[in-house]
Amino acid sequence: MNQTNDKVLGILGGMGPLASAQFMVRLTLLTQANRDQEHIPAVLWSDPRVPDRIAGRAGTGPDPLPWLLRGVDGLRQAGCGAIAIPCNTAHGWYEAMANVAGVPILHIVDAAAADLRRNGMTSGTIGVMATQTTLDMRLYQDRLGEQGWTCIQPDADRMQRLVEPATALVKANRVAEAYLPLLEVVNSLGARGASAVVLGCTEIPLGILAGPASALRVPVVDTIDALARAAIQWAQSGA
């Protein structure tokens, strides 16, 4: 970039707060810029009061949609031209938000698909790690399936014993403790034939980054990075 960017990106965050902060870090580091003015103007709406998306989807807790729409409206009023949501499970309400946003909402699954293609993986078997709710909603299985991939996911035992506790550890700021259980799941998906593993919960990349990448036996797609790249592409496009 060699000129001031006038496009303002909105980030609907707080789900969780650390993932939103990491998104801002990665958005900044992945942007090619030589001075402050060449970076992407952004408004972060980080509201951790949004009700739990898993409980909301299951009907055992408050509906998060009114809170999500409140954030979308706040970002629109702030003059944002597009919105990124660094929370996978929140995309279960994507259509309801997109219908009223008045601006594009960048879809995190499409961003992950673009990252797979960027790394030369245009078809084949892909592992997906996510919350059970995200997997049950088939956000990745259906959307990636339409684009040519076959998705596999962790078995029920590893979900309950490793993935769910690890994401809870990240939300509790015990990030380093999440690394080994998440590593085991990534490598198990690779052993089952996955050519790459999509980290389809924005807490999972934070746990994976807490340990050595050399222990990963299969490439991973960090959905925080993927969404940041999609946001950069939007900001630098002529549209």
So what's the pLDDT on residue 6? Answer: 78
Pick the CATH number of 9-107+226-236 from 3.40.50.40, 3.30.70.890, 3.40.50.1860, 3.20.20.70: 3.40.50.1860
Same fold, 9-107+226-236 and 109-222: yes
Give CA angle at 165 (159, 171), nearest 5°: 125
Burial readout 172-208 (b: 16 or more C-beta within 10 A, e: otherwise):
eeebeebbebbbbbbbbbbeeebbbbbbbbbbbbbbb
pLDDT tens sequence for the chain (239 residues): 445 667 999 999 999 999 999 999 999 999 999 999 999 999 999 999 999 999 999 999 999 999 999 999 999 999 999 999 999 999 999 999 999 999 999 999 999 999 999 999 999 999 999 999 999 999 999 999 999 999 999 999 999 999 999 999 999 999 999 999 999 999 999 999 999 999 999 999 999 999 999 999 999 999 999 999 999 999 999 65
Give residue limits of the domains in the chain.
9-107+226-236, 109-222
So what's the pLDDT on residue 2? Answer: 47
So what's the pLDDT on residue 3? Answer: 57
41 and 7 in contact (C-beta within 8 Å)? yes
Q: How many residues does the chain have?
A: 239
- Angle formed by the axes of helices 223-236 and 17-30, nearest 10°: 50
Single pTM value for the model? 0.95
Q: Look at the domain 109-222 and name its fold.
A: Rossmann fold (3.40.50)
Taking the CA atoms of residue 112, residue 116, residue 119 and residue 123 in that order, the dihedral angle to the nearest 10 degrees is -170
Residue type, 171: K
